[in-house]
Amino acid sequence: MIRQRSVGLAVRRALRRERHRIAADLHDEIGQAMAAAHYNLSLLEAWARGGPRDVRRILREVTRIISRTLAETRRIAADLQPRALEGKGFEPALRGLLKTFTRRSGAQARLLIEEGALPLCQDAQALLFRILQESLNNVAAHARARSVNVRVVCSDAGVVLSVADDGVGLAMAGRGVRAPGLGLAGMRRRVRDVGGSLRLHSAPGRGTRLVVTLRRREPLPGPGETAGR
């Protein structure tokens, strides 16, 4: 049993290092190259303003394609290794998300972290960070909320993340419908892949509460797996 656990930890560390390397390559090499290409195309667009209409149209389309590809590359890199977690730690990274959310939406955001006996490994930190980021994006885009409360509870049983807003809810009919989309599907898939659960509680005009539970299914991580290591 001890040997199996040691092998499992070694595999997770190796996978984490590989994800970190791929994320860095995507951001530093491919991302920078596409950003440079985008800049050069914008110069070509400026020079071609008096040129043939077809040339200008093709340049605009290529610029849009590179912009979308650059955004997707950055998203994939962030999925592999959220850069906000590097050097900051879990709680400061979450508070940074809330600060950005408030600046963008104008809604007030509160964070409560209740720490128990279960240390969060880096994989769990990254997963919860991305879920909170996607949840806040959904609230800012659709909920018309005035406040959001975020709570993280860690215990021997596992970790629970809840995100509750006082917005319009998910089931409103007519214009301005707020409905689960691809972001929610992606969150469900990520949580399900690690054996967790995601639940939504919502009613028209009474806001929405998202609850993610990651259950403890094996012995606590060793020192190399604890938060911030």
Residues 69 and 110 placed together within one structural domain of the fold: no
Residues 125 and 209 placed together within one structural domain of the fold: yes
Q: What gap in Å lies between CA 192 and CA 62, rounded to an integer?
A: 37
- Better-scored residue on pLDDT, 88 or 212: 212
Residues 186 and 93 placed together within one structural domain of the fold: yes
Do residues 212 and 191 touch, judged by C-beta distance below 8 A?
A: yes
Confidence of residue 208 (pLDDT cuts 50, 70, 90): very high
Task: Please tell me whether residue 160 adopts helix, strand or coil conformation.
Answer: strand
Domain count, the chain: 2
Q: What gap in Å lies between CA 9 and CA 220, rounded to an integer?
A: 11
Q: Name, in order, each residue with C-beta under 8 angstroms of 91's C-beta and a sequence gap of 6 or more.
A: 111, 113
- Tokens representing residue 25 in the block: 């390559």
What percentage of residues in the chain have a pLDDT greater than 70?
Answer: 70
Residues 65 and 103 placed together within one structural domain of the fold: no
Residues 92 and 77 placed together within one structural domain of the fold: no
Residues 202 and 114 placed together within one structural domain of the fold: yes
Residues 112 and 209 placed together within one structural domain of the fold: yes
Task: Please tell me whether residue 1 adopts helix, strand or coil conformation.
Answer: coil
Residues 37 and 125 placed together within one structural domain of the fold: no
| Sheet of 147-155, strands arranged across | 108-114, 147-155, 158-165, 208-215, 197-202
Residues 94 and 56 placed together within one structural domain of the fold: no
Do residues 98 and 111 touch, judged by C-beta distance below 8 A?
A: yes
Q: What gap in Å lies between CA 169 and CA 206, rounded to an integer?
A: 6
Residues 40 and 94 placed together within one structural domain of the fold: no
For residue 159, what are the domain limits?
87-225
Question: pTM of this prediction?
Answer: 0.62
Residues 115 and 196 placed together within one structural domain of the fold: yes
- The CATH code of the domain that includes 113 is 3.30.565.10
Task: Please state the separation of Cα 165 from the chain's center in Å.
Answer: 18
- Tokens representing residue 139 in the block: 């609230």
Chain segment 89-130, per-residue pLDDT in tens: 888 989 999 998 999 899 999 999 987 645 677 778 888 988
